[in-house]
Chain A
Amino acid sequence: MQREVKLVQGNQAIAEGAVYAGARYYAGYPITPSSEIAELCSVLMPQLGGVYMQMEDEIASIAAVIGASLAGVKSFTATSGPGFSLMQENLGLAVLGEVPCVIINVQRCGPSTGLATKPAQSDVMQARWGRHGDQAIIALSPATVKECFDLTVTAFNFAEKFRVPVVLLADEIVGHMRENFTYPAPGELQVVERKKPTVTPDRYKPFEPAEDGIAPLAAFGSQYVFHITSSMHGTDGYSNNDPGNAAWRVAQLHQKIDRYRSEIVLTKTFNAEDADVLLIAYGATTRAARAAALTARRGGIRAGVLQLLTIWPFPDEIVAVLGGQASTVVVPEMNFSGQVAGEVQRVLGPGADIRRVNRYNGQVITPQDILRAIQGR
């Protein structure tokens, strides 16, 4: 079959990517700049035998998503900063209860209601640390319409494979941008299904990790009967206050992500191998970074880009290698505090020449902004 090139919006690619990955339940609450995802899902889900629900708020949205996932249906929600804040408590339940689900955050400029229609990349740390209790999470960030689609599929794959919630940190620019895109044919991209139990029902324990470190997850309504709880629990899913058990549970939630770091950490490089000036970028800002690096090369500066598709867990290894080779590292991002620049500094050490390019007024970072930082050396 001839695959057509289409002009596709980022948010549309996210919704279509979720459907491609097998999502058949969406619960959400409208918020700019993510609402196109909800609108499209309200059309697609019922067509495909799935369900779309507009909930009373974002707290309910993620709760319903978790419930549907436990009933065996791949589920997701989409929001922006204010809604993402409301989701944090129940996102923590998905972490502790090890419930696969995907949360799309199309970031906008804050704090608070902020500039509701303008882009930002200021929820990087909220994604990582926004919840109470110590926990790990996976977060991915797309820079193009194609990456919106592909990384949404990847987000579902990681969620299902590792029994975790996965956050897609998009931003208003990629969410609303339109680019030429050819939808992949069925089977072209890998789609992962969660591991189901194979033991007899009387022996099933919902939190007993298999050899790969991940516990199989049954569905409510199957022959397996099980408990999931927001309280600390043992392998059987029932409350357990034993300190040794709690220590094992908390560590296990971190370790299962740690163990698969090399599979989870996704990056791209553009002329980065010999870079003397390394631009480390993610999301829409990657586009300006690539343009700036090309211009700098033409001017005789060996500049290159390391794009972080995975932000959490943070790609320490490749940042250390490529950042270590460069004499200067530039980190452009649409936030004031340098949320990723701080991580880069942690990896490369206090002596490294790390230049921050920050915008936090709802305007995009331009290649010229980045070039000025490069030339400022």
Chain B
Amino acid sequence: MWCPGCGNGIVLGAMLRAFEELEYELHNTVVVTGIGCWGKADDYLLTNALHTTHGRALAFATGIKAANPRLHVVVLMGDGDGITIGGNHFIHAARRNMDLTAIVVNNYNYGMTGGQCSGTTPADSYTSTTLYGNPERELDICRLAEVAGANYVARGTVYHGWELQQLIKEALNKKGFALVEAVSPCPTHFGSHNGMREPVEMLNHLKEKAVTMDAYRQLKEPERDGYFVIGKLAERDAPDFSTNYERMRGRIAGARKEGEPA
């Protein structure tokens, strides 16, 4: 299903190992996927799964979690799915602080439909719809999640597989909205348009450009270009939606009985 050299399998492996370490069970885990190459991950899963429509996975997951807060609900989206067509749902799932773990694979383009640009395609880079270089700017998924109110925000890459697994584990353990952005190669499209046709070239790129916050801070302005920070980027412990809703229900005096109209 996925091309040779695609990073999706590494993210999936990291997620499944995190599930195993946390002893998630198949029946109380629901993986909700959007549409795209990464969105097809559910085909490989034995947990409960809901494969949804393009951009809407978080909204479906919101209903599942609200109806049964005891479930582990994990949402898999591409960068096109999660923050381009689905940007509005992303903002509001984070704002509501739904107790969901979102794993967004950022390969800087729409892999499934042939490598068109997305909301995370870096300015000036090449895709099948920006052959003259992208005239638009890219969006920082992690900063968006942070300002929208997520309880946990982290970025990893598929070159740093073990670290990615630890970040996913932390995100799963966090109550409230947790986001892990996994930067990942799409050698078939983004790589081939941007001089990194061989999968190993993209991995080398991630190895070189992904740095810790400390290392990033030491870089001076012009040198910083193209570098990005990996690791945990934000954490807070605001109460999640279901906790707040339960509290509100507790405040309602004289709740009416079953079968009794208003």
Q: Do A and B bind each other?
A: yes
Question: Residues on A close to B: CB < 8 A?
Answer: 6, 12, 16, 20, 25, 27, 40, 43-44, 46-49, 51, 53, 55-57, 59-61, 63-73, 75, 89-90, 93, 183, 185-186, 201, 219-231, 238-239
Q: Is the CB of B60 within 8 A of A66?
A: yes
Whole-angstrom distance between the Cβ of B257 and the nearest chain A Cβ: 9
Given A25-B67, A183-B261, A220-B71, CB of A64 within 8 Å of CB of B255:
no
Q: Is the CB of B67 within 8 A of A75?
A: yes
Mask: chain B, 20-55; 1 = CB below 8 Å from A; 0 = not: 000000111010100100001011011111111100
Q: Of B35, B59, B258, B262, which contacts A55 at CB under 8 A? A: B59
**Bound CA–CA A302/B1 (angstroms):** 67
Q: Is the CB of A225 within 8 A of B47?
A: yes
Q: Of A53, A67, A229, which contacts B51 at CB under 8 A? A: A229
- When C-beta atoms are compared, the residue in chain A nearest to B63 turns out to be A67
Whole-angstrom distance between the Cβ of A256 and the nearest chain B Cβ: 21
Given A46-B248, A220-B68, CB of A70 within 8 Å of CB of B56:
no
By a CB distance below 8 angstroms, the chain B residues around A201 are: 27
Q: Of A57, A61, A228, which contacts B50 at CB under 8 A? A: A228
Residue from the set B49, B59, B256 with the largest chain A CB neighbour count within 10 Å: B59
- When C-beta atoms are compared, the residue in chain B nearest to A43 turns out to be B262
Q: Is the CB of A226 within 8 A of B67?
A: no
Whole-angstrom distance between the Cβ of A73 and the nearest chain B Cβ: 4
By a CB distance below 8 angstroms, the chain A residues around B32 are: 67
Q: Is the CB of A64 within 8 A of B62?
A: yes
Number of chain B interface residues as a range: 35 or more
Determine the main DSSP class of B at the interface with A: mixed
Given A44-B262, A55-B92, A186-B258, CB of A72 within 8 Å of CB of B68:
yes
B88 sits at the interface (CB 8 A): yes
Q: Of B42, B63, B88, B262, which contacts A64 at CB under 8 A? A: B63
**Bound CA–CA A185/B248 (angstroms):** 29
Q: Is the CB of B255 within 8 A of A230?
A: no
Q: Is the CB of B252 within 8 A of A46?
A: yes
- When C-beta atoms are compared, the residue in chain A nearest to B43 turns out to be A239
Q: Is the CB of B27 within 8 A of A223?
A: yes
By a CB distance below 8 angstroms, the chain A residues around B68 are: 71-73, 219-221
By a CB distance below 8 angstroms, the chain B residues around A55 are: 59, 62, 92
B249 sits at the interface (CB 8 A): yes
Q: Of B63, B248, B256, which contacts A66 at CB under 8 A? A: B63
Known: A46-B249, A64-B66, A221-B30. 6 other contacts (CB 8 A): A16-B261, A40-B262, A53-B63, A60-B89, A68-B66, A69-B63
